[in-house]
Amino acid sequence: MTSDFSYKNKKVITIGIVRDLTGLSERQIRYYEERKLIFPERSPGGSRKYSFADVELLVEIANKIEDGVQTHEIRKEMLRAQKKQSQDDVRKKMIQGQLNAQFGIRKGPSS
Amino acid sequence: MTSDFSYKNKKVITIGIVRDLTGLSERQIRYYEERKLIFPERSPGGSRKYSFADVELLVEIANKIEDGVQTHEIRKEMLRAQKKQSQDDVRKKMIQGQLNAQFGIRKGPSS
DNA sequence: AAACCGTGTTAGGAAACCTTACGCAATTGT
DNA sequence: ACAATTGCGTAAGGTTTCCTAACACGGTTT
């Protein structure tokens, strides 16, 4: 239902490209992973694979760090944001459910 | 004006990932390049870099080849399609120019 | 003062990629 | 019929890219 078939979230970019795209060093990129701010996938051989969304996130992270925010704090912020998001999702689903109950009942032999 | 700032056309994917994404062999992917059907960029070190658009194109190419169409023919088709496209672009630009001339004149000291 | 933070750098090794070239069945062109 | 081309597989040898682990180090925090 939610598209999410987007290119934005496919993990297909190697760390060298991410380095070029963000201007960060590989060391930095790996370090932010170590601090659980980013979660690349791995190829069978162990190489990291990032998405465009990851690239954007990395830039945001780098900006915050420049502003003196610690990875520790950034992580908390992210968890907070994430939690609120999932709450919002639940609410939306509930409303959707209400609507379906009222009007959208299209189950059973009705063709 | 035309966005094209899309992820779809950024060349960021290495050949191994393209292989996984398309199911083609690296040999095939390189061969189609040799036959001028696809044009990856290169990293400073010489590694090929593809876009999602390239990946889609590769799948189309592979399908045609399965249907017995030769690379030679596919290339012609592509050139044809490309030419028509650029013609269409020109027409659109001309119309745009007309409209600007009629209504959109916003140049010179007018603030 | 001790511990932690964010990063550069080095070292050694493995994975991924590159080009070149031979081979070969199947098509295509002459 | 026969030569040439097509669309790959595969192997060899070499370069690039990526990986982890570890030491260093100036700045914060605690």
D chain positions with any atom within 7 Å of a protein CB: 6-10, 15-20, 29
State the pLDDT confidence band at B111, using cuts at 50, 70 and 90: very low
This prediction has a pTM of 0.86
The nucleotide minimizing the C1' distance to residue B68's CA is C27
Mean pLDDT score, A70-80: 96
Contact A16 B43 (CB under 8 A): yes
For residue A110, the model assigns a pLDDT of 43
* DSSP characters over chain B: ------GGG---B-HHHHHHHH---HHHHHHHHHTTS---EE-TTS-EEB-HHHHHHHHHHHHHHHTT--HHHHHHHHHHHHHHHHHHHHHHHHHHHHHHHHH----SS--
Q: What is the pLDDT of residues A22-59, one digit of tens each?
A: 999 999 999 999 999 999 999 999 999 999 999 999 99
B14 beta carbon to strand C: under 7 Å: yes
**B9 in contact with chain A, both atoms CB, cutoff 8 A:** no
